[in-house]
A and B are shown apart, each in its own frame.
Chain A
Amino acid sequence: MDVGIVIQQTLNALTIGAMYALIALGYTMVYGIIELINFAHGDVFMVGSFVTLWLLTTIGVQGAVNDPVQLVILLIVMFAFVMIVMGLVGVLIERVAYRPLRNAPRLAPLITAIGVSFILQNLIQATYSTANFNIPQVINTDARVSFTPPSFNLAGVAVTSSKVDATAIHIFIIVLALALIVGLQLFVRRTRLGRAMRSTAIDREAAQLMGVDINTTIALTFFIGSALAGAAGVAWSLNYGLTKFDIGFQAGLKSFTAAVLGGIGNTTGAALGGFLIAFIEVFSSQLGYSRWSEAIVFSILVLVLVFRPTGILGQQLAERA
């Protein structure tokens, strides 16, 4: 038991959790509004990281940007661009692949979603190949605060303490994600459009009869969800500095588990779930089970769906005839 390692891994978990939370929000919002598991959502995240790569290559950024003003401007440009592009991609997918099937039997949009997922993966694979791609990490990886927590004695057991590196990247991603999550909550609760989204999620026909434009509302939901996934993609590039065509599948499944764990349809739950899943993943890796982390996360998914399908923050639905 090492205090330093615990704190370090906690930071890592919060960072990864931030990304999972952003992706999970997209899953939960889309499921809440049209009861569809958007299989392609994880790949939207992946494409987001590739768009970041493209953007940085086109602008000509090759490494860390040290001038704070330039860095801030660059970050704003990166996030704004990628989020808008991915938002539009999400709207396009919804318009072409999901909207025509809104009244079809449940199997059809599910299969279509899988098809879209493969299309996205394959397009990137064809354009970029299956290799790992390095992305310039614009926030200097050396910018960090290092400290060593004091070691101490707990009931006679010596607790060691190693160095903790709290990097700027960690802090930036965590803060940004929290800002986006809070921003989303405010939007959904306080604005007219947010109200439209919530009412459509509760009862689509009633909302329609009250004058809510369903098509625009659903498109908006996809835009926001995909934009958040795009933001996660940028965060991924900042944090890891590389990407590959298949990161969407894994990250997507884990984020979906997070959404289910927190309570599908519940945005707070999705954020909470994202952080929880990241903690489980990071600490099981720490304990030496990294090869099993995938299996552990999926087992959690199965257990949650079997024993408490409404998730941690979900509402218990009475069994209706």
Chain B
Amino acid sequence: MNPLRALLFWRPGSYLRQGVATLRLRSRPVTAPTGRFFGAHQSLSVIVGMAIVTALLPFIVLLPPFSGFNNQTSFVDGFSQAGVWVLLAVGLNVVVGLAGLLDLGYAAFFAIGAYTYAYGSSPFSHNAIPFWPMLLVGAAVAAIFGLLLGAPTLRLRGDYLAIVTLGFGEIVPVVFNNSDTYTNGTNGITALGQPTVPFYTAQGFDLTSPFGSLSFGFGNPVPYYITVAAIIAITMCLLYRLQDSRIGRAWMAVREDELAAASMGINTVTTKLLAFAIGASTSGLAGVYLSSKLAIVSPSQFGFTVSFTVLAMVVLGGMGNIWGVAAGAFVIYEIQSQGLKQLNVFFQGVNLPALHLGFVNIDLATINFLDYQYLLYGLALVGMMLLRPEGLFPSRRRRAELHDVDDAGAANQEIVQA
């Protein structure tokens, strides 16, 4: 049914009932479609999976060798940060992996979500809207900007689309940076409101206060961790459902062959715009969450390196595969935040002699691997594209798509050169 009508004649009860009903194990349709590529993912499995992962991670870090790297509190806080990247990666996956639109300015929507929250809840804006409704507002505002920034790109081919989105990704932080009256310019907006525990006030459990007034505070990382895990779980559920539906097929068709897709009745305009909007709204969610956790937002947080890192996570994780991309983002973030530091510690402890190659000295003990982070990303991306373009955790479809195509391409080369 027409989504506008659905929203206008919204009967919350019926949707809620149906929504809950779909979580039951028995929700598979009677004549279930079977087949390798058409299995419908169960939302329950996503939620259970996320619950298990969320519960286990804080305890895995108590085991060696992780226990030697850092204490549990820092790890859990790092997981919350990783969660932001996972959200970003899962959202960009919709745009790049499913719909095939190379968006290089993804950080723009991240910024928009963050600044929306800053408008909703900061001394600068004289507002104090609670965190939970701002999540939805931030997502909605980012989605609108996804439509706005996506609209000019609709008729552009792959390379040009990338450049235009890159341009937008640069323009948005510049605008935030230069508009001192509206966004406090370079200094950013500080003292943002913290998330609050639902139904809890200073006096304890209180049903009359749905958003609560007991703030998360800065000391304890656990409520933040659980919040981001919940957001990720729900988002992944929704994205899997979209992927398995008519719109998911439309995205794949548009990615494969836009003209043929249009000739089958797909409105490529709305299809692409929807991809942009959904990708942007996910990024907006991440922006709201992160800005509330850090209690500060500033234009320097949203440069091209952010867009590039998220793209690297999507590509390395396995474009098109939601769990794969999430896992890839988590792994890459942990390598970046913990792994590189540990390499520093390791080489300092091991005390290898320095290498002298002509006029270049390589002394592994003094190298700070953190400085080389983007070099490693770059090398990883190039290496991946050459050797394993489908990513670390690809979907079966993707692997089949990329490897057989390579073989065919190589065969063609041989024929022409013969």
A interface residues with partner B (beta carbon < 8 Å) = 31, 35-37, 96-97, 100-112, 114-119, 121-123, 125-126, 205, 208-209, 249, 253, 256, 260, 291-292, 294-295, 298-299, 301-302, 305-306, 309, 321
B interface residues with partner A (beta carbon < 8 Å) = 96, 100, 102, 104, 152, 155-156, 158-160, 162-164, 166-168, 170-171, 174-175, 177-178, 259, 304, 308, 311, 315, 371-375, 377-382, 385-386, 389, 402, 405-406, 409-410, 412-413, 416-417
The 7 tightest CB contacts between A and B, nearest first, are A103-B409, A115-B381, A122-B375, A118-B378, A298-B167, A119-B378, A115-B382
- List, in ascending order, chain B residues with CB within 8 A of A298's CB: 167-168, 170-171
Contact, CB under 8 Å: A114 / B402: no
A108, A119, A121, A126: which contacts B389 (Cβ < 8 A)?
A: A108
- List, in ascending order, chain B residues with CB within 8 A of A123's CB: 375
- The residue in chain A whose Cβ has the minimal distance to the Cβ of B96 is A107
- List, in ascending order, chain B residues with CB within 8 A of A309's CB: 156, 160
**Interface of chain B: mostly helix, strand, loop or mixed:** helix
- List, in ascending order, chain B residues with CB within 8 A of A115's CB: 377-382, 385
Q: How far is the CA of A310 from the CA of B174 in the complex (A)?
A: 27
- List, in ascending order, chain A residues with CB within 8 A of B402's CB: 104-105
Contact, CB under 8 Å: A110 / B162: yes
Contact, CB under 8 Å: A205 / B416: yes
Contact, CB under 8 Å: B416 / A301: no
A97, A106, A126: which contacts B375 (Cβ < 8 A)?
A: A126
A106, A122, A301: which contacts B372 (Cβ < 8 A)?
A: A122
Would A103 and B410 be within 8 Å (CB), given that A36-B159, A111-B311 are in contact?
A: yes
- List, in ascending order, chain B residues with CB within 8 A of A118's CB: 308, 374-375, 377-378, 381
Contact, CB under 8 Å: B385 / A108: yes
- List, in ascending order, chain B residues with CB within 8 A of A97's CB: 382, 386
- The residue in chain A whose Cβ has the minimal distance to the Cβ of B97 is A107
Contact, CB under 8 Å: A306 / B152: yes
Further 4 A-B residue pairs, CB within 8 A, beyond A104-B402, A107-B158, A118-B381: A112-B385, A208-B416, A298-B168, A302-B152
- The residue in chain A whose Cβ has the minimal distance to the Cβ of B377 is A118
- The residue in chain B whose Cβ has the minimal distance to the Cβ of A127 is B360
- List, in ascending order, chain A residues with CB within 8 A of B375's CB: 118-119, 122-123, 126
- List, in ascending order, chain B residues with CB within 8 A of A108's CB: 385, 389
- List, in ascending order, chain A residues with CB within 8 A of B158's CB: 106-107, 110
- The residue in chain A whose Cβ has the minimal distance to the Cβ of B411 is A103
A121, A294, A306, A321: which contacts B259 (Cβ < 8 A)?
A: A321
A118, A256, A294, A306, most chain B CB atoms within 10 A: A118
A102, A114, A260, A299: which contacts B308 (Cβ < 8 A)?
A: A114
- List, in ascending order, chain B residues with CB within 8 A of A36's CB: 159
Q: How far is the CA of A117 from the CA of B308 in the complex (A)?
A: 11
A104, A292, A299, A305: which contacts B163 (Cβ < 8 A)?
A: A305
Contact, CB under 8 Å: A111 / B385: yes
- The residue in chain A whose Cβ has the minimal distance to the Cβ of B154 is A306
Contact, CB under 8 Å: B102 / A110: yes
Contact, CB under 8 Å: A107 / B374: no
Contact, CB under 8 Å: B412 / A103: yes
